[in-house]
Chains A and B, each alone.
Chain A
């Protein structure tokens, strides 16, 4: 099983090369990989339907009992087939969609990366493994939505999707951890045996809320649904794959997967079913408002995702099975519809249904694909979509939950009308101007949706063999044996009557849709107040907060940074040692000699002169004198090496500064008297603090164990009598190496700053003039 993931990842790595060497037809080549994985999955079919689950695991961090474990049961197999099967079609389709585009290799790579992540989600048995793959799907989704990275709205949509789903992931992680702690295992197959214990655990409520928030954000449930329509900024192959068939179903998958562990309680029902129902109705209503092909499909997807959640929330055997049937039906028809929309967009460069019409004659194959999928979406005989709707109505109806049944029928009426808007409006009626220039794309553009459409019909006509896999999947969701017998024709019953009612209502709505225009414009002004508006407001506020805080802390004035640092240091020193300082300061021997005091006085005086000097030269001179005086101190207190170095370096410094004198601007007094007084006060306080700290440090000084070691071992081990030198070149030779490195880096920096000139900017006409100005000013100053 790990092999499947690795093969797809390797294919992802090879994708850019394939795109360069084979071109857009490489999609057929790459599609072999997921197709092969799908065949491997099919080979497991007999074992899985007989409840013999396949599993594999490797130790990840054994000391933490962390495993990467995979398990294949009915639910995983079903999802795995969708991921790899539709994935193979999408790779072929993407090749034709982005034909000739140099970014095609990148698109394939991201798609394959996503495929590996998604396959990982549905195969994972360990909660943390699942979470990691879950986050990987969010990240690859971000890369894919922002594929047109040169368009700002594309980037904004990608960021929005990442923030919403990533935020959900952030909540999901603690939820999964709580679940793991409550069930004392991170293996889902283990947790199944501890369902009672978990549901009675004190953490049950919090973990359920957290996990569901993760699932709701991922599967675009109200009020987090707004990211999905915006994600349509992605190229269509991505919308077809991630945002209808697979990734958005990850939340549904998670809820289904954890149903036997967490489900069956009143909390489960009340947290999921109402949200799902609201999403279902809202999605259907919003789909009717939209005019962009992909937007209509996105809202219809939201509606179906809501339905799936509702069915899982109700949680009877029948509704769980219905959810699974609907999920498969939806993946087949919605993936096909998105590809159809992409083909239209590709040919006409127009997705607004108000500007589309009469495409049937110029794009017959695409029209066929649209009709195949549309019939399934509307739930008309003999498609799998019809079976799905029948099962759904039956399952909800048998619960006698009238509100849910009414909501289901209403949302389905909306979806039938939406199917008409997507599949009939662009292809029939009067041919628009835009449609006249259109022409059919290659078979790679209309082939994949036709394949999906035909698959929908085949499953509808012959649901028998598929039932056993659905039974295995439902068993995994329900946690007990479920038998499923799907049939196309159930005879005339309540569900069929409801279906007819739905179709009639839908056709009426589609036929009279122009009457809705007034309602739509009337509700337009409420739209900014939706969750999308809340998201934008939140994002703007966070940015403003960050900007405001940056303006205060990172104001760009060097001296305020310094003031802050000095002030904080002084403050914290006094906070920490204020009380102790005074008690330690009494016993200070006053033993000094006159020449020492004079040297110290010289240092202080030259410091004052250096500060008060009005010219650069005087200041540099004072600095040099202070340096020599410091060297004098070194001489007096047993440090001749230091003194020698200090003399040499001080001489060099003064020499360098004096050389630079003619090229630097001279001192200017730029600050006001007030500022100078403030700075002087701060400087004196800081200096005083250092003095106090130093005196304190001397009173608490302990023995010199390290120095004593060096002194004792200098001759026997390093054969050197000057202990300081031995430390530098022997005991701490690596420090000296570092010092030499610093010196060389500084030397390179000095050299490059002096010798290298910034290249003249292309297009700027006055750069040479500036250069001339610089050199003339330099020579003028040198002349001075």
Chain B
């Protein structure tokens, strides 16, 4: 399954990078979204995947009885999901205001610092 996930991650990265290279500033947002999915899945896969095996200690036990899914990447991804949402929301509003104030969605026309 590793190899399938690896290809999926690569595909998501390719799609995200392609969208971020576009001149239309709204496409950049979609690119950001795709890229954050890709990054999350990358961390998840790189940590090694195991089917089932939720990282929870059964009731009455002090330690997990069998091999469990790696909890550390999961904790990282949990943080990453929330932060990427914050970044996406901020970028969305920033781009909305940029388009509104400057009247263009073409990144090539947003080069100068003066309006």
A-side interface residues toward B, CB under 8 Å?
Answer: 556-559, 562-563, 566, 588, 590-593, 596-597, 600, 603-604, 607-608, 610-611, 616, 619-620, 623, 626-627, 630, 633-634, 636-642, 645-646, 649, 652-653, 656-657, 660, 663-671, 679-680, 682-684, 686-691, 694-695, 697-698, 701, 704, 706-707, 710-712, 714-716, 721-724, 727-728, 732, 735-736, 739, 742-743, 746-747, 749-750, 753-754, 758, 774, 777-778
Tell me whether A623 and B33 are in contact (CB under 8 A): yes
Tell me whether A690 and B9 are in contact (CB under 8 A): yes
Q: Chain A residues near B79 (CB, 8 Å)?
A: 728, 735-736, 739
Tell me whether A679 and B18 are in contact (CB under 8 A): yes
Cβ-neighbour of B85 out of A562, A608, A652, A714 (below 8 A): A652
Cβ-neighbour of A664 out of B12, B59, B68, B99 (below 8 A): B99
The residues in B between 24 and 78 inclusive whose CB is less than 8 angstroms from any CB of A are 24, 26-30, 33-34, 37-38, 40-42, 44-46, 48-59, 61-64, 68-72, 74-75, 77-78
Tell me whether A603 and B11 are in contact (CB under 8 A): yes
Cβ-neighbour of B48 out of A636, A695, A701 (below 8 A): A701
B-side interface residues toward A, CB under 8 Å?
Answer: 1-15, 17-24, 26-30, 33-34, 37-38, 40-42, 44-46, 48-59, 61-64, 68-72, 74-75, 77-79, 81-83, 85-90, 92-97, 99-101, 105-108, 111-112
Q: Chain B residues near A735 (CB, 8 Å)?
A: 79
Q: Chain B residues near A753 (CB, 8 Å)?
A: 90, 93-94, 96-97
A576–chain B nearest beta-carbon distance, Å: 17
Tell me whether B41 and A633 are in contact (CB under 8 A): yes
Tell me whether B10 and A641 are in contact (CB under 8 A): no
B39–chain A nearest beta-carbon distance, Å: 10
Measured in the bound complex, the distance between the Cα atoms of B58 and A783 in whole Å is 56
Q: Chain B residues near A630 (CB, 8 Å)?
A: 37, 40-41
Tell me whether B99 and A665 are in contact (CB under 8 A): yes
Q: Which residue of A lies closest to B19 (CB)?
A: A611
Q: Chain B residues near A645 (CB, 8 Å)?
A: 78, 81-82
Q: Which residue of A lies closest to B64 (CB)?
A: A711
Q: Chain A residues near B88 (CB, 8 Å)?
A: 653, 656
Q: Chain A residues near B12 (CB, 8 Å)?
A: 603-604, 607, 626, 687
Cβ-neighbour of B30 out of A620, A642, A646, A668 (below 8 A): A620
Whether A687 touches B19, Cβ cut-off 8 Å, given contacts A653-B88, A712-B63, is no
A642–chain B nearest beta-carbon distance, Å: 6
Tell me whether B13 and A686 are in contact (CB under 8 A): yes
How many A-B pairs have beta carbons closer than 8 Å: the answer is 279
Cβ-neighbour of A590 out of B3, B17, B18, B53 (below 8 A): B3
Measured in the bound complex, the distance between the Cα atoms of B17 and A686 in whole Å is 8
Whether A707 touches B93, Cβ cut-off 8 Å, given contacts A667-B26, A683-B21, A694-B42, is no
Tell me whether A640 and B93 are in contact (CB under 8 A): no
Whether A711 touches B63, Cβ cut-off 8 Å, given contacts A596-B1, A665-B105, A670-B22, is yes
Measured in the bound complex, the distance between the Cα atoms of B40 and A490 in whole Å is 94
Q: Which residue of B lies closest to A609 (CB)?
A: B15
A712–chain B nearest beta-carbon distance, Å: 5
Tell me whether A683 and B18 are in contact (CB under 8 A): yes
Whether A750 touches B59, Cβ cut-off 8 Å, given contacts A596-B4, A603-B11, A683-B14, is no
A665–chain B nearest beta-carbon distance, Å: 4
Tell me whether A663 and B96 are in contact (CB under 8 A): yes
Tell me whether B81 and A649 are in contact (CB under 8 A): yes
Q: Chain A residues near B81 (CB, 8 Å)?
A: 642, 645-646, 649
Q: Which residue of A lies closest to B95 (CB)?
A: A664
Describe A's contact surface by its main secondary structure. Answer: helix
Whether A722 touches B24, Cβ cut-off 8 Å, given contacts A592-B1, A695-B3, is no
Tell me whether B5 and A742 are in contact (CB under 8 A): no
Tell me whether A722 and B30 are in contact (CB under 8 A): no
Tell me whether B72 and A608 are in contact (CB under 8 A): no
Measured in the bound complex, the distance between the Cα atoms of B33 and A603 in whole Å is 13
A147–chain B nearest beta-carbon distance, Å: 31
Q: Chain B residues near A600 (CB, 8 Å)?
A: 4-5, 7-8
Tell me whether B105 and A698 are in contact (CB under 8 A): no
10 tightest A-B CB contacts, nearest first: A687-B14, A691-B10, A638-B69, A746-B86, A556-B111, A683-B18, A607-B15, A670-B23, A687-B10, A723-B71
Q: Chain A residues near B29 (CB, 8 Å)?
A: 657
Tell me whether A670 and B106 are in contact (CB under 8 A): yes
Tell me whether B105 and A721 are in contact (CB under 8 A): no
- Listed A/B pairs (20) with beta-carbon separation below 8 Å: A557-B107, A603-B11, A604-B11, A610-B19, A611-B19, A623-B30, A637-B49, A638-B54, A639-B77, A667-B24, A668-B24, A668-B105, A670-B108, A694-B10, A698-B48, A715-B62, A724-B75, A749-B93, A753-B96, A754-B93
Measured in the bound complex, the distance between the Cα atoms of B85 and A669 in whole Å is 26
Measured in the bound complex, the distance between the Cα atoms of B99 and A734 in whole Å is 37
Q: Which residue of A lies closest to B41 (CB)?
A: A630
A483–chain B nearest beta-carbon distance, Å: 70
Tell me whether B75 and A727 are in contact (CB under 8 A): yes
Tell me whether A690 and B18 are in contact (CB under 8 A): no
Known: A653-B85, A723-B68. 6 other contacts (CB 8 A): A627-B33, A633-B41, A670-B22, A683-B21, A704-B70, A728-B78
Q: Chain B residues near A656 (CB, 8 Å)?
A: 88-89, 92
B4–chain A nearest beta-carbon distance, Å: 5
Q: Chain A residues near B58 (CB, 8 Å)?
A: 721
Tell me whether B87 and A746 are in contact (CB under 8 A): yes
Tell me whether B2 and A774 are in contact (CB under 8 A): no
B1–chain A nearest beta-carbon distance, Å: 5
Q: Which residue of B lies closest to A634 (CB)?
A: B44
Tell me whether B82 and A743 are in contact (CB under 8 A): yes
Tell me whether B85 and A698 are in contact (CB under 8 A): no
Q: Chain B residues near A724 (CB, 8 Å)?
A: 55, 71, 74-75, 78
Tell me whether A746 and B30 are in contact (CB under 8 A): no
Tell me whether B9 and A638 are in contact (CB under 8 A): no
Whether A774 touches B101, Cβ cut-off 8 Å, given contacts A607-B15, A645-B82, is yes
Q: Chain A residues near B51 (CB, 8 Å)?
A: 636-638
Whether A562 touches B21, Cβ cut-off 8 Å, given contacts A649-B85, A715-B63, A721-B56, is yes
Q: Which residue of A lies closest to B1 (CB)?
A: A592
Q: Chain A residues near B20 (CB, 8 Å)?
A: 559, 562
Q: Chain A residues near B101 (CB, 8 Å)?
A: 758, 774
Measured in the bound complex, the distance between the Cα atoms of B22 and A679 in whole Å is 8
Q: Chain B residues near A664 (CB, 8 Å)?
A: 26, 95-96, 99, 105
Tell me whether A642 and B56 are in contact (CB under 8 A): no
Tell me whether B11 and A732 are in contact (CB under 8 A): no
A491–chain B nearest beta-carbon distance, Å: 76
Tell me whether B57 and A714 are in contact (CB under 8 A): yes
Tell me whether B82 and A739 are in contact (CB under 8 A): yes
Measured in the bound complex, the distance between the Cα atoms of B91 and A656 in whole Å is 12
Tell me whether A750 and B72 are in contact (CB under 8 A): no
Q: Chain A residues near B90 (CB, 8 Å)?
A: 746, 749-750, 753
Q: Chain A residues near B44 (CB, 8 Å)?
A: 633-634, 637, 639, 642
Whether A707 touches B78, Cβ cut-off 8 Å, given contacts A588-B3, A683-B15, A683-B21, is no
B32–chain A nearest beta-carbon distance, Å: 10
Q: Chain B residues near A557 (CB, 8 Å)?
A: 107-108, 111
Measured in the bound complex, the distance between the Cα atoms of B6 and A592 in whole Å is 13
Tell me whether B2 and A556 are in contact (CB under 8 A): no
